[in-house]
Amino acid sequence: MPAVVVVGSQWGDEGKGKATDQLGERVDYVVKFNGGNNAGHTVVIDGETYALHLLPSGILTPGVTPVIGNGVVVDLEVLFQELDALSERGVDVSKLRVSASAHVIPSYNRTLDRVSERFLGSRQIGTTGRGIGPTYADKMSRVGIRIQDLFDASILRQKVEGALENKNSLLVKVYNRRAVDVDAVTEELLSYAERVRPMVVDCSLELNRALDEGKTVLFEAGQATMLDVDHGTYPFVTSSSATAAGACTGSGVGPTRIDRVIGVIKAYTTRVGEGPFPTELDNEDGERLRQAGGEFGVTTGRPRRTGWYDAVIARYAARVNGLTDFVMTKLDVLSGYEEIPVCVAYEVDGERVDEMPDSQTAFHHAKPIYEMRPGWSEDISEARTFEELPARAREYVEYLEDISNCRISAIGVGPGRHATIVRHDLLD
């Protein structure tokens, strides 16, 4: 089973980091292919908690080669900080590879992310403020700075100058900020060059060769299906391709080489930032889920919005990613409910809708249609086989599997590395 993609099936924070980490011992490469340090993955190993943002979760597993693909946007200061922090904790980070074609997040894009959000007022997206959107915008506008540009000082200066031509007008005339100095930015970027140089590779060549040799490559998405710039709840999305297809464009590995696509999905739903969320619980039930699930952002510390499981979204994620398996996380958080509502379809302007509406207006109007499922009272965090789960927890999973159009191959019952029930091997 050489090439496997792991994606988020909802609005992020489904537990992709834990799922990747868990498969880590059986893979050779873990590739981050989209996003940047807007992501936040918490991985718990032997009671030790690691919070990762920019680095692929595979960095925590000895033997794995972690790769930052060309589809990622890299804040080099954050990269070095994260590497230093992990080194101090005894993690070997020497194997990290970074694509020469990945884009760099210059400091002016962090500024622009924040001021443009403020400018949007009530229409703001609630970004993480890390400069992600402006950097992808630069990439598409062909004024971005790539890792390889750091190794040619005169080209770099020209590119920074080109990028700042428009941005300085915007900053000064529209946002009433000070202009950014071309030389200062160029020097800052150049100061990172020597440290990153030994990590730089041709990502496509290295990964395709690895696959030719029969190595196992795991592609780890940041963000999630509903935050994907094409398939998510646009404009309340991130600016990259967080769905499975992004693994190909973001790494230079073709779709015919991908064998399996795993969607990580919570047994309920959360969202950070603005935008529509049909099953959101803006009440005590939502607060209970937030507290029981520890639903606070790893990156910004914001409380996550919470709601019941939404099978319309699950079916949509199965479709747009071509999922072969779901990994369902946080089933343990649902212990103690008498009944658990599950959204099976929406009502949109008086009509029942079973599939994700194709229009943003319709999605904003979508009201969940719930089926009530019996809950269970037992603590399930020690269960390690499906049979060890209480009958009603098994029925809940089987019901969700029935209505979500893809088998549920693993079930998370706690944050720890081994707190998982495997029903079907994910790499076989």
Residue in 56, 69, 133, 250 binding ligand IMO, rule: CB under 6 A: 133
Question: What residue type is 21 in one-letter code?
Answer: D
Q: State the Cα–Cα distance between residues 294 and 131, nearest whole angstrom.
A: 26
Q: For the chain, give the secondary structure using H, E and C.
A: CCEEEEEECCCCCCCHHHHHHHHHHHCCEEEECCECCCCCEEEEECCEEEEECCCCHHHHCCCCEEEECCCEEECHHHHHHHHHHHHHCCCCCCCCEEECCCEECCHHHHHHHHHHHHHHHHHCCCCCCCCHHHHHHHHHHCCCCEHHHHHCHHHHHHHHHHHHHHHHHHHHHHCCCCCCCHHHHHHHHHHHHHHHHHHEECHHHHHHHHHHCCCCEEEECCCCHHHCCCCCCCCCCCCCCCCCCHHHHCCCCCHHHCCEEEEEEECCEEECCCCCCCCECCCHHHHHHHHHHCCECCCCCCECEEECCEHHHHHHHHHHHCCCEEEEECHHHHCCCCEEEEEEEEEECCEEECCCCCCHHHHHHCEEEEEEEECCCCCCCCCCCHHHCCHHHHHHHHHHHHHHCCCEEEEECCCECCCEEECCCCCC
CB of 227 to ligand IMO, least distance (A): 5
> Which of ligand GDP, ligand IMO, Mg ion, none has residue 136 at its interface (CB below 5 to 8 Å by kind)?
none
**Per the residue annotation, which of 13, 21, 113, 325 is the catalytic one?**
13
Residue with smaller CB distance to ligand GDP, 128 or 251: 128
Q: Is 56 in the site for ligand GDP (CB under 6 A)?
A: no
Binding letters toward ligand IMO, positions 29-68, x by CB under 6 A: ---------xxxx---------------------------
- Shortest distance in whole angstroms from residue 129 CB to ligand IMO: 7
Among 59, 333, 353, 397, binds ligand GDP (CB under 6 A): 333
Q: Which is nearer to ligand IMO, 36 or 341 (CB)?
A: 36
Q: Which is nearer to ligand GDP, 12 or 246 (by Cβ)?
A: 12
- Catalytic site includes residue 181: no
Q: Which stretch binds Mg ion (CB under 5 A): 10-18, 147-155, 224-232, 400-408?
A: 10-18
- 329 sits near ligand IMO (criterion: CB under 6 A): no
Q: How big is the site for Mg ion, counted in residues (CB under 5 A)?
A: 2
Question: Could you say whether residue 332 binds ligand GDP (CB under 6 A)?
Answer: yes
By CB under 5 A, what part of segment 33-52 binds Mg ion? 40
Q: Which amino acid is at 339?
A: E
| Assigned token pair, 100 | 């020469």
Angle, alpha carbons 274-16-9 (nearest 5°): 55
Among 97, 103, 110, 130, binds ligand IMO (CB under 6 A): 130
Does 13 bind Mg ion (CB under 5 A)? Our answer is: yes
With CB under 5 to 8 Å by kind, the binding choice for 252 among Mg ion, ligand GDP, ligand IMO, none is none
Active site residue 41: yes
Using CB under 6 A, which of the segments 21-29, 87-95, 361-369, 410-418 binds ligand GDP? 410-418
Q: Compute the least distance from the CB of residue 295 to ligand IMO, in Å.
A: 11
# of chain residues touching ligand GDP (CB under 6 A): 23
Return the residue of 413, 417, 421, 426 that touches ligand GDP, per CB under 6 A. 413
- In the set 21, 41, 75, 138, the catalytic residue is 41
Residue tagged 């969202």 (tokens): 271
Choose, by CB under 6 A, the member of 45, 100, 190, 298 that binds ligand GDP: 298
303 counts as binding ligand GDP under rule CB under 6 A? no
Closest approach of Cβ 293 to ligand GDP, in Å?
6
Q: Which is nearer to ligand IMO, 13 or 149 (CB)?
A: 13
Q: Is 15 in the site for ligand GDP (CB under 6 A)?
A: yes
Catalytic residues: 13, 41
